[in-house]
Structure 1
Amino acid sequence: MRGITTMRRGSIVAAIAIGSVAVLTACGTSSGGGTAAPEATELGDMESSVSILAWPGYVEDGSNDPAVDWVTPFEEDTGCEVVSKSYPTSDDAVNLMKTGDYDVVAASGDATLRLIAAGDVAPINTDLIPNYAGIFDFLKDQAWNSVDGESYGVPHGYGANLLLYNTDDVTPAPTSWDVVFDKASEYTGKVTAYDSPIYIADAAVYLMAHQPDLGITNPYALDETQFQAAVDLLKEQRPHISEYWSDYLKEISAFETGDSVVGTTWQVIENSLEAEGAATDVVLPEEGATGWSDTWMIASEAKSPNCAYAWLDYIASPEANATATAYFGEAPSSEAACDFRDDCEAYHAGDADYASQIWYWTTPIADCVDGRTDVECIDYAQWTQAWSEIKG
């Protein structure tokens, strides 16, 4: 649930060449009640426009920065005029998709299963998306973008929620999340954490390693006992928190001023701090970390399904994906995209071992996503209620 208000404005050349994209004649419509529409099976004529709902910085047409525009080449090649709207949180995206006003949505894993369960998005036919073949295998067919063997979207970018620390104040260099949990009292009033119910999963990742008797095998599949342990850990952390952040610029400012010295972060934040000469560094702790892998999805009742498929193929193309993910500050979804970026190493793009340590955001649901059938897991609505109680 990344509520970014301003993206990194690097000097990114938007010279994007787009090849042929697939168009289709029709998509099925949702039957409602959580039943998804069938996937498209054939190609046809483009419509005149496509409506896209996405995180800020995912659909740039030069209006924010004339040098940043990967939308215009798509429009010129396909004839599909892009109409876009950005949203601040995953909850907003879920609610907006219920209006039926959007053909395409870029959703994080804490929203995707909710969209699928509600029947608001349709399974996709990856054969109609040529660029899907080049996407990293470890991003495909995952719990947050596929159900019962059916793919519901195209992976976009991904990243880990890392541990950021002030190298002067936090010594020795940390290797564990214990500095924000069991040892948080050493930095009282200067610990920061991500402001979202999904942060409960960060506590669960820590408990997986430090309280194995709880039996947690997936931080998004928590039964009542496991969930309460994670909530209790966050309530213990609460007195030591300086602030919960969702605007990444505020976290940058807090570390520059010294108001925060340790906490969860993204690689792009450390890149910005490093560029300003701040005494900070990041680490992927030994317990692993949560993270995100965003997915482009098509509405089950899309008014422009042909243009929607065209967009999914285009945004997965190496040039467009490289430009969009670099602008946002995340790893691209394919090795070929790294031919158009010079910072893939910093984002560990394509590093399967690194990616295997990331627990990508997945919507918590009652049907435990770890495969257990003998218990009921705590769903996202209860995570949201608990988060309000944790923050007080």
Structure 2
Amino acid sequence: MSTPCPRSWVSTAIQIIEADFNRSSDTHLLRVPLPAVPGVELYLKDESTHPSGSLKHRLARSLFLYGLCNGWIGPETTIIEASSGSTAVSEAYFARMLGLRFIAVMPRSTSAEKIAQIAFYGGESHFVDSPAEMYAESARLAEELGGHYMDQFTYAERATDWRGNNNIAESIFSQMSHEEHPVPSWIVVGAGTGGTSATLGRYIRYRRLPTKLCLADPEASVFHRHLADRAVCNVSGAPSVIEGIGRPRFEPSFVPELIDRAFAVPDAASIAAARVLSRRIGRSCGGSTGTNLWAVAQIIGEMVQNGEQGSVVTLLCDSGERYRSTHFDDAWLKSRGIDIAPAEQVMERFFETGVLSAA
């Protein structure tokens, strides 16, 4: 903004956000039964229980506080964000809380359920044909409207205090403290902005913990390719249908040096795993959670093969209710030529045997 934000309004805005945080309890850490693999324990950090329904609630809160404290957001600022949906839902939640106009720049393929949730919180949806178009269009809108482009893909890794302050890493390790294997052998996460993986990786190092960090990445994403070859910073071709993780370009917030291992997961495997897990735990899970689980299954299979014991933690990122018209709709899958039946059988066998066999 060209003029300083009123300090009194900024102070009140921060108080409103902090009060909302104080009203919200921490998210649950769920233990997933694995009777076939005694000695290895699997936990899900259930981020779907945040007020705005996903892991991105933490990021949205941090981005608003970052923007407020930097003087970028004032009482008349229009908030604009490039998003595949979940971050936009969460930012719309906070924008309404502060009485600010919010515009989400999203691909046309974003699920109808997410679009409806953005509207529920008073946000507006502005569509582009390709995910690669979101960045420039968001910046253009911010310039045109005199607003603030939140730019989660740049600021995610720096907006959150990775040393603690109740971030997701501190929460996981605190909740694990009374378990049989309190320090996880592995934490498995996906990456959209890279903010969550950066927070976890930095915290692990800061606390001098032996936990390793695994990236679960859609096959169509650039991140796993960049980890294999730092010269690869963009990919072309059809994007993944798994919303919220995986990107066609290397994002500024992704810190590859913090990743110990990566698995590329086909979309069919992600959706199949999400469906199987939803049935197993009686709680609906989105496709990005399925991506995480497919990588987890490979990690646990290797632990069993090597005679290792320990715990593995991953994230339940959001509810499958947001994908009733896409990932949980058989007709939608058929229209896109996605056959999840073989991968569903493989994931069911994993829960029965502790081994992820080839589909």
TM bin, normalised by shorter chain, reads: under 0.3
For CA contacts below 8 A with separation 6 or more, give which structure has more relative contact order. 1
